[in-house]
Chains A and B, each alone.
Chain A
Amino acid sequence: MLSPRSYRNAYLIAHSTVRFASSKIGPQLRSIGEVEQLFSQPDEIKTDPTIQTPKQSLPSEELVLKLLKLSGLPSKCASIPVIQQNLSKQLDLINKLHTFSPENSQDGIKLDPNHARIMPRSTHKLTYKELMEKIEYQKQNKDPELGEVEDGSWNATETTSISRNGYFVFRHGFIHDGN
């Protein structure tokens, strides 16, 4: 199921902004301490000066309209030029990120695309005993501070501006009429 093409498609914008140059974006960060240290530095030195990426041209109005539609956002009153400018800056950043090749990382370590997550990359293999213990624990532990209550006693629609007999109310045209 995991074809390189479909994986790349995960990054919608990347279609038009795939890697322009291969280079590295600095040494791999190995601890939270190193991440904190990096972000404590002034902005201008965070980017590796060796990275050369072409200046991103403004995305077309058509692309902006498509993105708005995909995002469920109204386009009728949207300021397209402002969005084009903002998007262009974001694309610049993404271009820079794309210059980093997982296959050619500086340590020569080939990375698993499955690791493109914030979560720990190598998780502990769950044994049957652990699985059953986890299930038993989860069955008995709810967190009322997250609205996880046994009797469903909190009123989910209490703070909504419109509700009806316990239902949330969705007004038609909220998405489509705005486009």
Chain B
Amino acid sequence: MLRRTKTGITTVATHSMFRILRRRYSVTSHFKLNDRYKLKCGLEIHTQLNTKNKLFSASNNKSSSHFNSIPNSQVSFFDLALPGTQPLLNYEPILFATKLALSLNSEINLNSSFDRKHYFYADQPQGYQITQHYSPFAQHGHMNLFRDIDNIEQEQKRINITQLQIEQDTGKSTYLQDEKITLIDLNRSNVPLIELVTEPDFTELQQVKAFIKKYQNLIRHLHISTGDLETGAMRVDVNVSINEYPRIELKNLPNTSSIIHAIKFEYERQIRIIETGGTIPSMETRGWDANKMETVKLRSKEGIMDYRYMPDPELPNVTLSEDIITNVRETLPILPDTLIHKLMSEPFNLSLKDAKILTIKSNNQNDLYDHESLRNYYLETFTEYKNQVGSTINCKLPTTWIIHELLGDLNKLQIPLLQCEAILTPQLFSEFLLLLHKEKISNTSGKLLLFHILETMKEVSYDKTMELNLNKLIKEFNLELTNNDVGDNELTEICQQILDNLNNDKMIQDIKSGKKPKSIKFIIGQGMRLYQGRIKPQDFERKFKELLNVK
């Protein structure tokens, strides 16, 4: 299509050129690292702690959980920096930081201190942020990534953590450009943050992705943060460099997808600059434009602030005794990697996939359950079941029936696990597993029974007094396996009748000739349906094969 410019020149070529350039300069879908240019990334992660109160005042810390709450409704005089107010350290963030530091194998500084970082911004009413510049809370930590658990290329990758520091969050700004004003909400002001800084140890995108996911799961596992990127409870900045060229800092990356796309774009952009004889500027900060899918310059070296760090004269040092480390270490939950290995070992023998379902919060989970409550339900049920069957335990039963069947039903019926477990307790679920274990009911009957129980509890609005007698239900619906009652002759008659009613000679011939051996499953299914699972599928299969003379 021809277009006219002010000069009257047709711009077909210009547009084509523009499209080519856009394609060249946007993130390619087939991204590949270039052997000649080593990617090097470091991360800076800000984590909002979900303490009851804010960092230096006793106002409610509801910023992350109630991010839509009324503006400036959760602020104290100190959070607004009203003259005369002074900070008073809240010690809950110290406890949370200790938990995180220990989980990240860091050395805790038993005499850390707070400093002022000065800059002027409308959502920073103090004119400075209280942070830990000179003497941070913890240093020299690390997190290990593994190929099997974290889906990285290498067998194992150690990411070193430079430091963890405690600091205040700022308020939130909403820019109204047309009116030339900014609306300021200080609910987030003075919310406790931990800033984690890694060494530039990341050499592949998958490592960055894995670290973010693992760190996010860790802070949720420790119950110190919601870890949600969407609400800003966790915010990630990335330093990207190639070979030994200066690093570029990337900010304003709202989710994992933006982070990965921004690194890809930046890597390719920096290579283009080098290959065209350009210079990578030192100390440049760039943001991510999600619409254009490209990084944009925010500020250069010239715009770097002089923060005029100084020790905060209103806050004493945080001096901790050694016993805090010992005691907090003892109260830490089993950490996710250890937990996964534990679940994959005796007596649970879970697959890696199932162990991860019970250990890692996934984006597929919804409000119906979380991995932790599911894990607790599984472990309690497993213990009850094991106590009843002893050495004859079939470890696949709890896995199949809780992780797969129960979860599927809860999703189908939209029942929260919390409501379910109040009625179908781990004790009762283990009794249900016992029925399957002793082959009192078939799998098919078990599925029917479980679904019926869940459906009923929803109908009675999760009334905890709901009667739940498994044996009574089995009798009521005639679900008990009839194999013991059905003799071989009777089973032959039943199966022959099914084959007659099938009226499908071609299928029979295909099974007999071995052309379509799997069609026998269909015939077994007919029998299961007819007898509602009261005859075991294995018995049907044996008898059908006998009648059709196939092995």
Interface residues of A in 80-117 (CB under 8 A from B): 114, 116-117
Return the chain A residue nearest B77 by Cβ: A147
Q: For the complex, is B120 an interface residue (Cβ under 8 Å from A)? A: yes
Whether A119 contacts B314 by the Cβ 8 Å rule is yes
Q: Mark B67-99, 1 if CB is under 8 A from A, else 0.
A: 000111111111110100100001110110000
Q: For the complex, is B316 an interface residue (Cβ under 8 Å from A)? A: yes
**Interface band, chain A:** 35 or more
A131-B134 contact, Cβ under 8 Å, with A9-B309, A152-B73, A169-B183: no
By a CB distance below 8 angstroms, the chain B residues around A125 are 110, 319-321
Interface residues of B in 89-136 (CB under 8 A from A): 90-92, 94-95, 110-111, 113, 118, 120, 122, 127, 133-136
Return the chain A residue nearest B163 by Cβ: A1
Name the segment of A19-27, A30-38, A51-59, A138-146 touching the other chain.
A138-146
Whether A148 contacts B59 by the Cβ 8 Å rule is yes
Q: Determine the distance from Cα of A119 to Cα of B313 in the docked complex, in whole angstroms.
A: 7
By a CB distance below 8 angstroms, the chain A residues around B134 are 1-2, 6-7, 114
Q: For the complex, is A135 an interface residue (Cβ under 8 Å from B)? A: yes
Whether B135 contacts A114 by the Cβ 8 Å rule is yes
Contacting A175 at CB < 8 Å: which of B80, B94, B120, B309?
A: B120
Q: Determine the main DSSP class of B at the interface with A.
A: loop
A167-B174 contact, Cβ under 8 Å, with A12-B308, A146-B77: yes
By a CB distance below 8 angstroms, the chain B residues around A170 are 122, 173, 181-184
Contacting B113 at CB < 8 Å: which of A114, A135, A148, A171?
A: A114
Return the chain B residue nearest A7 by Cβ: B134
Return the chain B residue nearest A70 by Cβ: B306
Contacting B92 at CB < 8 Å: which of A135, A147, A165?
A: A135
Q: Mark B307-327, 1 if CB is under 8 A from A, else 0.
A: 011111111111111011011
Whether B71 contacts A147 by the Cβ 8 Å rule is no
A139-B319 contact, Cβ under 8 Å, with A164-B183, A167-B185, A168-B184: no
Whether B321 contacts A128 by the Cβ 8 Å rule is yes
Interface residues of B in 49-81 (CB under 8 A from A): 52-53, 57-60, 62, 70-80
By a CB distance below 8 angstroms, the chain B residues around A175 are 120
Q: Determine the distance from Cα of A72 to Cα of B71 in the docked complex, in whole angstroms.
A: 26
Q: Determine the main DSSP class of A at the interface with B.
A: loop
Return the chain A residue nearest B78 by Cβ: A146
Q: Determine the distance from Cα of A95 to Cα of B185 in the docked complex, in whole angstroms.
A: 42
A152-B327 contact, Cβ under 8 Å, with A11-B310, A164-B183: no
A169-B91 contact, Cβ under 8 Å, with A146-B76, A148-B58, A152-B74: no
Q: Determine the distance from Cα of A178 to Cα of B91 in the docked complex, in whole angstroms.
A: 41
Q: Determine the distance from Cα of A167 to Cα of B175 in the docked complex, in whole angstroms.
A: 12
A172-B181 contact, Cβ under 8 Å, with A2-B135, A125-B110: yes
Whether A168 contacts B95 by the Cβ 8 Å rule is no
By a CB distance below 8 angstroms, the chain A residues around B120 are 71-72, 175
Q: For the complex, is A157 an interface residue (Cβ under 8 Å from B)? A: yes
Q: For the complex, is B33 an interface residue (Cβ under 8 Å from A)? A: no
Return the chain B residue nearest A139 by Cβ: B52
By a CB distance below 8 angstroms, the chain A residues around B315 are 117, 119
Whether B186 contacts A168 by the Cβ 8 Å rule is yes
Q: Determine the distance from Cα of A111 to Cα of B174 in the docked complex, in whole angstroms.
A: 46
Q: Determine the distance from Cα of A139 to Cα of B169 in the docked complex, in whole angstroms.
A: 20
**Chain B nearest CB: distance from A145 CB in Å?**
9
**Chain A nearest CB: distance from B192 CB in Å?**
12
Contacting B313 at CB < 8 Å: which of A2, A6, A117, A139?
A: A117
Interface residues of B in 491-506 (CB under 8 A from A): none
Whether B59 contacts A147 by the Cβ 8 Å rule is yes
Q: Determine the distance from Cα of A164 to Cα of B309 in the docked complex, in whole angstroms.
A: 34
Q: For the complex, is A49 an interface residue (Cβ under 8 Å from B)? A: no
Q: For the complex, is A124 an interface residue (Cβ under 8 Å from B)? A: yes
Q: Determine the distance from Cα of A6 to Cα of B115 in the docked complex, in whole angstroms.
A: 12
Return the chain A residue nearest B125 by Cβ: A168
Q: Determine the distance from Cα of A9 to Cα of B306 in the docked complex, in whole angstroms.
A: 10
Contacting A156 at CB < 8 Å: which of B72, B163, B311, B324?
A: B72
Whether A119 contacts B91 by the Cβ 8 Å rule is no
Whether B311 contacts A114 by the Cβ 8 Å rule is yes
Q: Determine the distance from Cα of A122 to Cα of B481 in the docked complex, in whole angstroms.
A: 76
Whether A119 contacts B77 by the Cβ 8 Å rule is no
Return the chain B residue nearest A117 by Cβ: B313
Return the chain B residue nearest A130 by Cβ: B321
By a CB distance below 8 angstroms, the chain A residues around B52 are 139
Whether B317 contacts A148 by the Cβ 8 Å rule is no
Whether B181 contacts A156 by the Cβ 8 Å rule is no
Whether B311 contacts A117 by the Cβ 8 Å rule is yes
Q: For the complex, is B328 an interface residue (Cβ under 8 Å from A)? A: yes
Q: Determine the distance from Cα of A83 to Cα of B212 in the docked complex, in whole angstroms.
A: 50
Q: For the complex, is A42 an interface residue (Cβ under 8 Å from B)? A: no
**Chain A nearest CB: distance from B376 CB in Å?**
24
Q: For the complex, is B180 an interface residue (Cβ under 8 Å from A)? A: yes
Q: Determine the distance from Cα of A124 to Cα of B74 in the docked complex, in whole angstroms.
A: 32
**Chain B nearest CB: distance from A38 CB in Å?**
19
Whether B311 contacts A6 by the Cβ 8 Å rule is no
**Chain B nearest CB: distance from A7 CB in Å?**
7
Q: Determine the distance from Cα of A128 to Cα of B99 in the docked complex, in whole angstroms.
A: 13
By a CB distance below 8 angstroms, the chain B residues around A117 are 113, 311-317
Q: For the complex, is A46 an interface residue (Cβ under 8 Å from B)? A: no
By a CB distance below 8 angstroms, the chain B residues around A127 are 321, 323-324
By a CB distance below 8 angstroms, the chain A residues around B74 are 152
Known: A11-B310, A119-B313, A126-B319. 13 other contacts (CB 8 A): A6-B134, A10-B308, A114-B111, A114-B113, A117-B315, A126-B318, A128-B327, A138-B53, A138-B58, A146-B77, A147-B78, A148-B59, A152-B60
21 A/B residue pairs, CB under 8 Å, sorted by A? A10-B309, A116-B311, A117-B312, A128-B323, A131-B91, A131-B320, A138-B53, A138-B91, A142-B53, A146-B57, A147-B78, A149-B59, A152-B62, A156-B72, A157-B72, A164-B183, A166-B70, A166-B71, A169-B182, A170-B182, A171-B180
List of 5 A-B pairs having minimum Cβ-Cβ separation, nearest first: A72-B120, A167-B183, A170-B122, A119-B316, A128-B327
A residues contacting B by CB (< 8 A) are 1-2, 6-7, 9-12, 70-72, 114, 116-120, 123-128, 131-132, 134-135, 138-139, 141-143, 146-150, 152, 156-157, 164-173, 175
